[in-house]
């Protein structure tokens, strides 16, 4: 979907959620995207300024699949709950002029007709012509953290890596549940879905290597801390691991590698992922390290914007540069 930096129209279905609100901000700051419409069943008839004070004059709609099929929109983002996107996708796929569709749910992450896209990983595959992609499946937040941490060591790992993840309660969405009840989370750490979590299956499938994953939710709002433990085929030193990761991600602006352990507050409200805290057993064959990212941004909304940029022929950082410069002025601890 190459372009010459002309403006493209974009519509967002599912604007009420946390990720949808962050996407509105990103779209508003993108110089070549024009927000065409916004859909939310529960906010039908309200002005978009209720979701984003920098936007106004656009009325939020409740859009059916048939109505969506009639829209002449270049890019459609589905920020819907799992198992809700299918009726909309079916009608859009039947159109003669199919828009670029990016789905943020888990519905198409195992579907070979959709391109699963972590920008820092897919860009390494020379067999993929990004400009030909019309269907994007955006990865899960936990899954992004695990894959960014494990991808560099993919051919060096033996056995089954173990990933211990802690997310802010925004990851549980806006529908009330124990996992986003701040009263239940106060002074607490809540484990859940300790076997067969969807993101465990997602990572095992796309990494091509089985992983174990233990998710937890804590009382902070946004961010993920992922501690990874893995066995290695040969002995390493901590400096070797640090240099190896640094070289692997040397061309990726949004991946920071450091020797110190990253913390959630280092990545909140940023588009970065930070990997660090490399430690090894005495024999150098058991590695532990940490990957942190913002679950709503790098784990969802800003990663979606990276993917849109890559497929549409824009610079990968288009619309993200101003915040990136601000964050680069703050050295991670």
Catalytic residue numbers read 141
Tell the burial category of 189 from Cβ atoms under 10 Å away from its Cβ (0-12, 13-18, 19+). Answer: exposed
Phi then psi dihedrals of residue 320, to 5 deg = -110, -10
Q: How far apart are CA 220 and CA 39, in angstroms?
A: 28
């Amino acid at each position: 979907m190459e372009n010459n930096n002309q403006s493209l129209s974009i519509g967002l279905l599912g604007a009420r959620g946390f990720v949808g609100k962050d996407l509105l901000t990103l779209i508003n700051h993108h110089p070549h995207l024009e927000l065409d419409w916004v859909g939310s069943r529960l906010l039908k008839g309200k002005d978009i300024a209720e979701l984003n004070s920098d936007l106004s004059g656009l009325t939020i709609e409740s859009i059916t699949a048939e109505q969506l099929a009639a829209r002449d929109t270049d890019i459609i983002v589905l920020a819907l709950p799992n198992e809700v996107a299918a009726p909309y996708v079916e009608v859009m796929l039947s159109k003669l002029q199919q828009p670029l569709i990016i789905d943020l749910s888990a519905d198409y992450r195992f579907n070979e007709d959709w391109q699963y896209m972590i920008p820092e990983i897919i860009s390494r595959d020379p067999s993929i012509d990004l400009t030909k992609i019309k269907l994007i499946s955006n990865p899960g937040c936990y899954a992004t953290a695990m894959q960014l941490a494990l991808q560099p060591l993919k051919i060096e790992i033996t056995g089954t890596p173990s990933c211990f993840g802690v997310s802010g309660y925004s990851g549980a969405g806006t529908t009330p549940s124990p996992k986003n009840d701040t009263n239940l989370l106060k002074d607490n750490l809540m484990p859940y879905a300790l076997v067969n979590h969807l993101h465990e299956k997602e990572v095992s499938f796309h990494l091509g290597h089985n992983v174990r994953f233990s998710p937890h939710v804590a009382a902070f709002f946004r961010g993920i801390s992922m501690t990874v433990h893995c066995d290695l085929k040969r002995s390493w030193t901590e400096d070797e691991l640090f240099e190896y990761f640094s070289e692997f991600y040397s061309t990726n602006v949004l991946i920071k590698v450091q020797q110190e352990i990253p913390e959630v507050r280092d990545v909140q409200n940023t588009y970065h992922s930070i990997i660090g805290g490399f430690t090894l057993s005495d024999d150098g064959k058991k590695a532990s390290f940490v990957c942190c990212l913002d679950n709503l941004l790098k784990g969802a909304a800003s990663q979606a914007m990276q993917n849109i940029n890559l497929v549409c022929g824009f610079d990968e950082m288009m619309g993200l540069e101003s915040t990136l410069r601000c964050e680069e002025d703050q050295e991670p601890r």
